[in-house]
Amino acid sequence: MVSGAVAGAMTCIITNPIWVVNTRLTVKQKSTAEGESPTTVQAFAEVIKEDGVLALWQGIIPALILVINPIIQYTAFEQLKNRVERFRKLGSLDFFVLGAISKLAATSITYPYILLKSRMQLKQSKNEGERYDSLVDGLRKVVAQEGVAGLYKGIESKLLQSVLTASFLFMSKEALFSYAVKLLILLGARRSLANAK
């Protein structure tokens, strides 16, 4: 878990500039239906020119906190799997459902940070009420302006996407693992027979 968290943190630090540019390009394309969209390189240059190099790491604190999302997901999955396996053998549908439940838990817990990360990666307003100076400031302003429900704005589409992805991932992973074990046993048995001859 520690090595996964360290790897996730390093990945966040390295890829955050890409996410900042991606978020800004997505919002810019939605707001300007006509005209040419800037290229990724132009968007990088625009962020640096308008907001400085450090703007490429806006939203890094929530992104670093989000490293716990897969930790929660895999821990929940393994714990649920171990409990159900005490009573019966698990099938593909079980792994699909356990994957869904574990991702539902992880995303529900970490969604406010996903929301803040996206908002902090947008071009920050000069208006004090619309700018997030820190993670705590962002949480405070969202709750003050939109209520606690504001921390979960847009969660429906995120849950649909992430829960389905995790469900198919865990179902496929367990099936591939099972087939790989059977193949290794078969190859081992053939090798033993060949050596016996």
pLDDT at 118 over 90: no
Distance CA 186, CA 197 (A): 17
The pLDDT assigned to 32 comes to 54
Residue 179 inside a domain? The answer is no
For residue 115, the enclosing domain spans: 2-172
Residue 190 inside a domain? The answer is no
pLDDT tens for each residue of 10-37: 998 999 999 888 888 887 765 555 567 7
pLDDT-above-70 percentage for the chain: 90
Residue 183 inside a domain? The answer is no
The pLDDT assigned to 125 comes to 63
Higher pLDDT among residues 38 and 20, named by residue: 20
pLDDT at 112 over 90: yes
Instruction: Tell me what percent of the chain is helix, strand and coil, each rounded to the nearest 5.
Output: 85, 0, 15
Residue 194 inside a domain? The answer is no
- The vertex-118 CA angle with 153 and 64, nearest 5°, equals 115
What CATH number is associated with residue 30? 1.50.40.10
Number of domains within the chain: 1
Residue 188 inside a domain? The answer is no
pTM for this predicted structure: 0.74
Closest CA to 51 of 32, 26, 24: 24
Distance CA 187, CA 197 (A): 16
- The radius of gyration computed from the CA coordinates of the chain, to the nearest angstrom, equals 22
Higher pLDDT among residues 34 and 102, named by residue: 102
The pLDDT assigned to 24 comes to 84
Residue 40 inside a domain? The answer is yes
Residue 114 inside a domain? The answer is yes
The pLDDT assigned to 86 comes to 93
121 — pLDDT class (breaks 50, 70, 90): confident
Q: Which residue has the tokens 């591939």?
A: 176
Residue 150 inside a domain? The answer is yes
pLDDT-above-90 percentage for the chain: 41
pLDDT at 145 over 80: yes
